[in-house]
Amino acid sequence: MIKPRTLFAAGLLLAGVALAADFTIGPAAGNSVTATFRQEGVEVENPFTKFTGRIAYDAARVEASTAMFEVETASFDFGDPGYNEEVRKKSWFDSATYPKAKFQSTAVKAGTAGAFTATGQLTLKGRVQTLSVPVKVSAGAKGGFVFDGSFTISRKAFGIGDPVWEGVVDDKVTIKFHLTGDRK
């Protein structure tokens, strides 16, 4: 005969397994990574079309969660071939030399219910900065999760921008993401 305490402990263990998941993220339907900035005073928001990542999320032990994410800089899409070519140039993303921007978490801190802050290293155009990124988590399809967040960087801190565009394109760029992860 199984003792009630044993059943209770097994139930807690299974509940913990159900809350922990490892997700591979890519540009699937519904997933997005965008950059928003002001150009001549007008807000512009455009997507990165190629990105990959991995999130190991444990709702029961948020601090044990990790995230790694890479964006192909040449995939930034203005919707215009001329602008797309411009931002790939050496003075902007220098996509030939630095084809990817990468975020790697170093710590995750639980916040209010359904939220956490991921602190980590952002590497972009050969430069590294430590960032803390607030993330909201909600229930997704098939028992998965949806991760939403944004953070602001200085493009100049990463050596991004042609002096010809000074005064035309603001320094502050907000990166927004909406990522879904289904259980495998």
pLDDT in tens, 148-167: 999 999 999 999 998 888 88
Contact call for residues 106 and 121 (beta carbons, < 8 A): yes
Q: Backbone phi, then psi, for 33, in 5-degree steps?
A: -135, 120
CATH code: domain of residue 47: 2.40.128.110
Query: Would residue 4 count as lying in a domain?
Result: no
pLDDT in tens, 78-102: 999 999 999 999 999 999 999 999 9
**CA 70/CA 51 separation, integer angstroms:** 6
Spans in the chain with pLDDT lower than 50: 1-19
| pLDDT score, position 74 | 98
What is the domain extent for residue 161? 20-181
Query: Would residue 120 count as lying in a domain?
Result: yes
| pLDDT score, position 13 | 31
Query: Would residue 85 count as lying in a domain?
Result: yes
pTM, full prediction: 0.84
